[in-house]
Amino acid sequence: MPETWHLIPGFRSCSMPVISSKYEALAVDGGTPVRKTLLPYGRQSIGEDDIQSVVDVLRSDWLTTGPRVTEFEEAFAARVQAKYAVSFSSGTAALHGAAFAAGLRPGDEAITAPMTFAATANCVLYQGATPVFADVSADTLNLDPDQVELRISPRTRALLPVDYAGHPADLDVILELAVRHGLVVIEDACHALGAEYRGRLTGSIADLTVFSFHPVKHLATGEGGMVTTNRAEYAEALRRFRNHGISSDARQRQRDGQWHYEMVALGFNYRLTDIACALGLSQLKKLEANLSRRREIAARYQTAFRALAEVTAPAIRTEVNPAWHLYPIRLNLERLRTNRAQVFQALRAENIGVNVHYIPVHLHPYYRDRFGYRGGEYPVAENAYERLISLPMFHGMSDQDVDDVIAAVKKVTLAFAL
Ligand SMILES: Cc1ncc(COP(=O)(O)O)c(C=O)c1O
């Protein structure tokens, strides 16, 4: 700790006041917070139309796997320009379905990024296969195709890129690698509904693409997920897998006046309800508006933070139009006399609901214990992790909310600047 540590904002001491007159007093040191109430990092927006849509289903004959499921799937497939969309009870269940449809089984490997939510790698384990991590590119924090190539082995069956924060992965390069090595590409687009890559929409590009409808996402159904694909046999396998491995659903049997059904594979109950699909349908109508609002917010952030030497704003490659699920900045720690934990605490005290995405998956105790990771294996992801802070990003944010976030980041980083 430096000699002058007590002069550093945020290093609280009972015996000494910590603020030099050069700084506006930070809330963490007893100053006035930028906002009176906490601004969360993400939040759903539910309107009267959404509520009505759900109420209509509650008054109908079907609460699960009824007409809304098919309507939602068809509308979703049309929106992302895919041939088929199969709904699941969560993004995690959808990932599991995709891993099953891709044919992952014990002995296989699937290559994915460590900079993601654990569910991306867990779905490989659910199938008894092994997730192999490849480091990410320093600008986007998406899978680095060169690192992927180094890890392809005779056991590799799938590549699992993640569209981190809503910025599409290097899909053409990854697809080309997959074709060359005979692999299936499962894109984890849980952050990237509505994102574009070289003019194409996520959901229409990879063999299988997975989405999540968790409340902080672009479209909320409570819990919920979807897999899109252009191949009929994948769609068929996905539908069976989410319904116990049974070859027809209850509504189909009722329509056909049939009682007979066959379980042809081992599946799960991963069905999304009609209630959730009604909400999904009504939310889907607002997707365009939600995406534009997120892009507006991101543009304001980009302008503000590109001018701030203490932070690095997210990179945007020329070939993409991101969907901005998250807005993760990186702290330029070389220019700050503190670490991420203190900046995080200081921003929280200013009532800015910051978060961190992600603790690299291989560093979680489960992965360390099972696979022997020690840290240091994926230096780009690990270095980024030390610097990352996700700022609030959701379509319901007002301009004042955005201004508050910018003001708080400037206030805190200036106070800690070298
Ligand atoms: C990258 C990624 N993959 C998968 C998931 C899992 O989705 P869900 O929460 O819908 O199960 C998430 C959830 O946030 C995610 O961020």
pLDDT at residue 381, as a whole number = 98
Pocket probe for ligand 1: among 163, 164, 190, 218, the residue whose CB has the most ligand atoms within 8 Å is: 190
Pocket probe for ligand 1: among 117, 124, 211, 226, the residue whose CB has the most ligand atoms within 8 Å is: 117
Tokens at 155, concatenated:
């056991």
Tokens at 206, concatenated:
């990879």
pTM (2 d.p.):
0.94
Contact (Cβ atoms closer than 8 angstroms) between residue 402 and residue 50: no
Q: Is the CB of 91 under 6 A from ligand 1?
A: yes
CB atoms within 10 A of CB 351: 16
DSSP letter (8 states) at residue 81: T
What span, in angstroms and rounded, lies between the C-alpha atoms of 340 and 329? 11
Q: How would DSSP label each residue in 104-173?
A: --TT-EEEE-SSS-THHHHHHHHTT-EEEE-PBPTTT-SB-HHHHHHH--TTEEEEE-B-GGG----HHH
Mean of the pLDDT values across residues 308-316? 98
pLDDT at residue 22, as a whole number = 55
What span, in angstroms and rounded, lies between the C-alpha atoms of 70 and 255? 14
Q: Is the CB of 355 under 6 A from ligand 1?
A: no
* Per-residue pLDDT tens digits for 93-142: 999 999 999 999 999 999 999 999 999 999 999 999 999 999 999 999 99
* Per-residue pLDDT tens digits for 86-97: 999 999 999 999
Sign of CA dihedral 94, 100, 101, 102: positive
Q: Is the CB of 90 under 6 A from ligand 1?
A: yes
DSSP letter (8 states) at residue 313: P
Question: Which ligand 1 atom minimizes the distance to the CA of 223?
Answer: 10
* Per-residue pLDDT tens digits for 243-253: 999 987 767 77
Is the model's pLDDT at 298 over the cut of 50? yes
Q: Is the CB of 191 under 6 A from ligand 1?
A: yes
Contact (Cβ atoms closer than 8 angstroms) between residue 416 and residue 10: yes
Q: Is the CB of 187 under 6 A from ligand 1?
A: no
* Per-residue pLDDT tens digits for 34-80: 999 999 999 999 999 999 999 999 999 999 889 999 999 999 999 99
Strands of 62-204, DSSP E: 84-88, 109-112, 130-133, 156-160, 184-188, 196-197, 200-201
Catalytic residue IDs: 217
* Per-residue pLDDT tens digits for 325-370: 999 999 999 999 999 999 999 999 999 999 999 999 999 999 999 9
Tokens at 71, concatenated:
């309507």
Q: Which residue's CA is the nearest one to ligand 1's atom 16?
A: 117
